[in-house]
Structure 1
Amino acid sequence: MMPSASLRDLPGGLSYWQTTTPAVDLPVVEDPLSGSYEYVVIGAGLTGVATALHLGRAGHSVLVLEAGPRPAWRASGRNGGHVWPSSHAHEDEGGMKKLRFEMSGAKAVSEVEARKIRGSIELACSSEERDEQRALGDTPALEGVEILNGDEGWLAANLRSKRDGYGGIRQPNTATANPVRLAYMIAKKAADTKKVSFSFDTLVESISKDSSSLVLEGGRCLKVGEGVVLCTNAFTGVLLPELAHCFTQRLSHVIAVPCRKEDTRLAECTLAAVNDTVYISRPVPDRILIGGEGASELEAGAKRLKHAHHGLSSSVSHPMVFHWSGPSPVEGIFSSVLASTAMDFLYFTSAREQ
């Protein structure tokens, strides 16, 4: 079964993680209509495979439908790999409860799949953000978070700036995970429940509002026993048109200079700024990643890197460019999605609830 042209236009399987991570054997259903399932999960990214794992452990029969050829084929496999808790405590977003959850989630994920745990530094760019960060220091559950004052953040991150610093925080539990391998591990655990099967290269065209059923490519109808769980970002507005304007789709870029060795550890520093997010990581001297909202233009992103980070490797002059659709790494791909996979917590949109 071949995906539609519109689906094919979306990039997939182009990241460093995708090209270097061996696939795993999973129970694959050649014809989704050949069996009966209590739940169908749409999307085999990190959220989708985690949802399947939870449902399978609860004893439910589950079929995971993925438009790509394997798990983590799109956004889940094309981010920087940060396991990074948030550093803000807005009450309307759950406040400290969310921060405690994300910190514990980062720790749990790092125990499952982490290449390097060195922590990260997030710089405050205003007095308001500085005050929010300092509130973290008074939270018992976030013990180990270090508050940096003034220019300490710039110096600790090995960065230079012409403006005065507002300080920052050092997160001790942030780590680097291979998101593709992590998705594979979760998918394999889901398969081990003997309740979860997968169907790849399977495009869902629509979800029925009146009954638990899906329309697959070619107009074939798939009946579902209990419900449909939607775990995809790019196609949410397509499958649930009433939510088409509720999600902001972003297109970001990653500039990557491949490592000389098979070492994908992220190290050095991460820089985040209010409303102009730039994320910089130096895994090893020969590989630098740039991403985020502020780097949506490659030339502008490269200029920001040159101004913010000294000692830039000369090998960056001929980068490989990868694209992905979805949130930028610094906006919580790994602070929310990965935390949910590790902490027995489900984050999904159910068609029945819309």
Structure 2
Amino acid sequence: MEERLIRTLTPQVIAVLVRRGAGFAAAEDAVQEALLEALRTWSSDPPRDPLGWLVTVAWRKFLDAGRAEASRRRRELKADAEPAPGTAPETDDTLQLYFLCAHPSLTPSSAVALTLRAVGGLTTRQIAAAYLVGEATMAQRISRAKRTVSGVRFDSPGDLSTVLRVLYLVFNEGYTGDVDLAAEAIRLTRQLASRLQHEEVQGLLALMLLHHARRPARTNGAGQLVPLAEQDRSLWDTALISEGMMILQRALARQRLGEYQAQAAVAALHADAASAGETDWPQIVGWYDELVALTDSPVAKLNRAVALGEADGPRAGLDALATLDPALPRHTAALAYLHERSGDTEEAAQLYAKAAPLALSLPEREHLIRSASRLNAAPRKSPG
């Protein structure tokens, strides 16, 4: 079987079994048993309808296992008649599976792991490698998550904002191990967008595409982080940028602005600038104003301060930054950057060095160290 086909069909089959009354853990076990049988038989006798075949076999596996409790067994007796082999279910329950895997009772890390396992179809080993933990540790995390959601009713809409937050968490993990989590997050968000016509789903997809388009230029040949202003824009993926902007325009046309649309609008303005010097910073500040109004996010306020420093000068940015909590992630790094822009290179060098141990990733920390070294090696300038 093709891996892509398995990853596409697995969440749909799990969702059908859960809708019929199977517990989440029991449903996934039954689907895995069906996949093993498919591996044994499909090469010599491939079904005309793989989805229908998997639903039929997985449902039989579930009934044979006898894992359901008495109340769940009664629901099984009332379930729809078992479909004939080769007949796919008419109802697509994959959307509900997104909500189930991002249930509010789960921690963010558990929701991410369960989403990748059940909706993404990744193996436990792949997820563990992506998050740089042992396979046994990840297996325990996923098992706990499955137990947590096993008693959740599958008959009401879930929290879309939680689903989107989980997908964005997956995207921000980027690339580790043999799984490209950024690409996987885009695939899952595309899948969600095809099933749910919602402006914020479109906004998140546009945001992912616009950020992902810059990926080839984000590091140099030595693997070092390249800041946005210094990136070679000819390396940006123009096809992804065009698609992201088109999706964003459709979302904004609905006139129901949300945080992901606002973030995507900022990314679109960066993508639209032929060079860093041509960036429309005043409009970016305006979009950050919208984002702050929507979320009151301290991170959005910090990003707005940096954008204000570009639009109205570093002193305006420093004044805005002074109103924020210095303990915010990247606050010290932003302070260093704005001091450098103002010409106070001595203070900037000290701040870059101070920010380095606080960095959220190794490439970012190394970049801050290089920035401090660069300024320390340069002739001193007095503040402008």
TM-score (norm 2): 0.24
Structure having the higher helix fraction is 2
Structure having the higher Rg? 2
Structure with the bigger RCO (C-alpha within 8 Å, sep 6+) is: 1
- Normalized per residue, the structure richer in strand is 1
User: Normalized against structure 1, the TM-score is what?
Assistant: 0.26
